[in-house]
């Protein structure tokens, strides 16, 4: 699907390659600045945490709002989704991949919190960062080029969806949630996550489709995915640094 969409560097002039390198560096700088500025803020906001810990009983609407807010501000989830849909041109394909991702993160979000299955949040978030780098590398046809065999893209999205959902679960497990109304509230939170994902995805698709209609899309596809891969590795490094300095 995507290999044909990526222009071959060997066919480019030196000027085109230089422009491509500059574009990759510029996009990478913007993504890295974004990641570095918000990485420390990722998680449940202080006011939201106070609400979760201070309330009991069934609170459907507030938890739906919190779920949607978390997804819309979840830069790691959105970066992964950007990579997933980068070369998907048919809504049928977009729907299939996004559904697999939703099934993955919904199941581990609910199971992780309900059954109190715990893991170090730094390690889980490092794997989430790795998922961003993985998808960008796959978009660049790196697996076929380096290893000769590309991975199953749908299986990969589902598996990484499990980790993304577990990442959400670790954020909630850091709080003291009341057992009164826990399951309805978790379901509401999960529905909110799906609503937030749909809203964010709609905006991403709109921007992507507008970009695809311009001549610059083919020229900058490699640069954009290279920058996305850099951002993923920065997320991995940030989380591993936290693990070794705070969470080990």
Residue 24 reports pLDDT greater than 70:
no
Confidence (pLDDT) at 64:
95
At 103-112, the pLDDT tens digits run 999 999 999 9
At 173-226, the pLDDT tens digits run 988 888 899 999 999 999 999 999 999 999 999 999 999 999 888 889 999 999
Which letter does DSSP use for residue 206 in this model? H
CB count within 10 Å of CB 246 equals: 8
Confidence (pLDDT) at 229:
95
Residue 34 reports pLDDT greater than 80:
no
Confidence (pLDDT) at 42:
52
At 128-177, the pLDDT tens digits run 999 999 999 999 999 999 999 889 999 999 999 999 999 999 989 988 88
Count the alpha carbons within 13 Å of 182 in the hemisphere toward its beta carbon. Answer: 17
Q: Which residue has the higher pLDDT, 43 or 125?
A: 125
Confidence (pLDDT) at 2:
55
Q: What is the pTM of this model?
A: 0.84
Average pLDDT over residues 22-51: 59
Average pLDDT over residues 25-44: 51
Residue 9 reports pLDDT greater than 50:
no
Contact 109/168 with Cβ under 8 angstroms?
yes
Confidence (pLDDT) at 40:
45
At 72-96, the pLDDT tens digits run 888 899 999 999 999 999 999 999 9
* 107, burial (CB in 10 Å: exposed 0-12, middle 13-18, buried 19+): middle
Q: What is the mean pLDDT of the chain?
A: 85
Confidence (pLDDT) at 73:
85
DSSP notation for 36-100: HHHGGG-SS-HHHHHHHHH--S--HHHHHHHHHHHHHT-HHHHHHHHHHHTT--SHHHHHHHHHH
Count H helices and E strands in the chain, helices first: 10, 0
Residues in the chain: 248
Domain assignment present for 47: yes
Domain assignment present for 2: no
Domain assignment present for 69: yes
Domain assignment present for 5: no
Residue 247 reports pLDDT greater than 70:
no
**Phi, psi (rounded to 5 degrees) for 167:** -60, -40
Domain assignment present for 62: yes
State the residue range of the domain holding 173.
Answer: 11-247
How many structural domains are present in the chain?
Answer: 1
Domain assignment present for 4: no
Domain assignment present for 63: yes
Quote the CA–CA distance of 236 and 36 in Å, as a whole number: 12
CA 111 → CA 91, 166, 181, 186, 190, distances in Å? 30, 9, 16, 10, 12
Domain assignment present for 53: yes
Confidence band for 97, pLDDT divided at 50, 70 and 90:
very high
CA 169 → CA 5, 105, 115, 220, 248, distances in Å? 37, 9, 11, 36, 19
């Amino acid at each position: 699907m995507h290999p044909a969409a990526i222009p071959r560097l060997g066919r480019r002039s030196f000027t085109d390659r230089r422009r491509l390198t500059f574009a990759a560096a510029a996009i990478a700088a913007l993504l890295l600045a974004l990641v570095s500025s918000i990485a420390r803020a990722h998680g449940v906001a202080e006011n939201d945490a106070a609400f979760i810990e201070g309330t009991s009983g069934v609170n459907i609407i507030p938890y739906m709002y919190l779920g949607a807010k978390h997804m819309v501000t979840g830069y790691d989830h959105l970066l992964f989704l950007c990579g997933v849909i980068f070369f998907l041109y048919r809504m049928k394909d977009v729907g299939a991949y996004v559904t697999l991702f939703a099934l993955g993160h919904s199941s581990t979000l609910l199971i992780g919190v309900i059954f109190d299955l715990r893991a170090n949040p730094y390690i889980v978030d490092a794997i989430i960062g790795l998922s961003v780098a993985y998808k960008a590398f796959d978009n660049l046809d790196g697996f076929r080029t380096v290893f000769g065999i590309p991975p199953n893209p749908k299986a990969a999205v589902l598996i990484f969806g499990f980790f993304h959902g577990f990442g959400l679960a670790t954020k909630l497990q850091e709080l003291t949630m009341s057992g009164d109304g826990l399951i309805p509230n978790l379901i509401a939170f999960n529905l909110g996550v799906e609503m937030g994902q749909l809203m964010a995805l709609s905006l991403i698709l709109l921007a992507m489709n507008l970009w695809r209609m311009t001549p610059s899309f083919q020229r900058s596809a490699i640069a954009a995915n290279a920058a996305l891969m850099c951002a993923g590795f920065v997320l991995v490094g940030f989380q591993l640094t936290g693990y070794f300095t705070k969470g080990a």
